[in-house]
Structures are given as C-alpha cells and as structure tokens.
Amino acid sequence: MRVHGLYDELNRARHGRTWQPHDFVLGFVGDVGDLAKLTQAADGVRPAPPGNGLGHELADCLWSVVVIAELYGIDLEAAFTTTMRQLEESITGDLGKGTTR
C-alpha cells in the first residue's frame, strides 16, 4: 500500500486526482493483457514485446489484486483460504465420484 500511496501523490501532481478503485481494475486488465502477450512469447506463439519480463508482469498483476482487495475492504488472505478449501472439496468430491467436466 506504500506504493499505492506514492501513485496517489504522483497522479495528484500530474492529473489533479487520484485513481479510484475502478481505475485500478482497468489498470489490472491492462496488466493481464501484457501478461497474456508475454506468456504467448514464452510459448513461442508471438515475438516477445519490448519492455519488462514475465516475472515483472506477474508481480504487477499481484500488486493490483492486493490493492483492489484493500480498496474494497476484502480480507484477501481469508478469501483465498476459503476459496481454495471450497475448490479442493469440490474437486475431491468430483474425483471420488469419477466425474469429469
């Protein structure tokens, strides 16, 4: 959130306003697009774009998710733990039934 605060200062100085939560979501979508291009490049589907690498874009995406969760008051650790438990139970149940999707 320290970097978020720095971005607030920079955006206020440059544009006279800070980003709203939806702006961070739009930024995240852009980061996911960059990530998609880099994974295609890593898999040999397209030429590597100039700029940062896959690790950088993954970190950008993770940072965006953390900031968005904070801005919307989501306990991300608790949500992640609950979601992973639910997925594990669902997948385990399907495996026990011999069900495939």
Give per-residue pLDDT as tens, 60-99.
999 999 999 999 999 999 999 999 999 999 999 999 987 6
CA–CA distance, 60 with 81 (Å, rounded to integer)? 22
CA angle 94, 96, 97 (to 5 degrees): 65
Query: How far, rounded to the nearest angstrom, does the alpha carbon of residue 33 sit from its chain's CA centroid?
Result: 11
pLDDT band for 15, please (50, 70, 90 cuts).
very high
User: ∠ CA(25), CA(42), CA(55), 5° rounding?
Assistant: 50
The pLDDT of residue 80: 97
**pLDDT recorded at residue 10:** 95
The band of 52, judged by pLDDT with boundaries at 50, 70 and 90, is: confident
46 DSSP assignment: S
- Asked if the model's pLDDT at residue 6 lies above 70, the reply is yes
| Separation of alpha carbons 32 and 65, rounded Å | 11
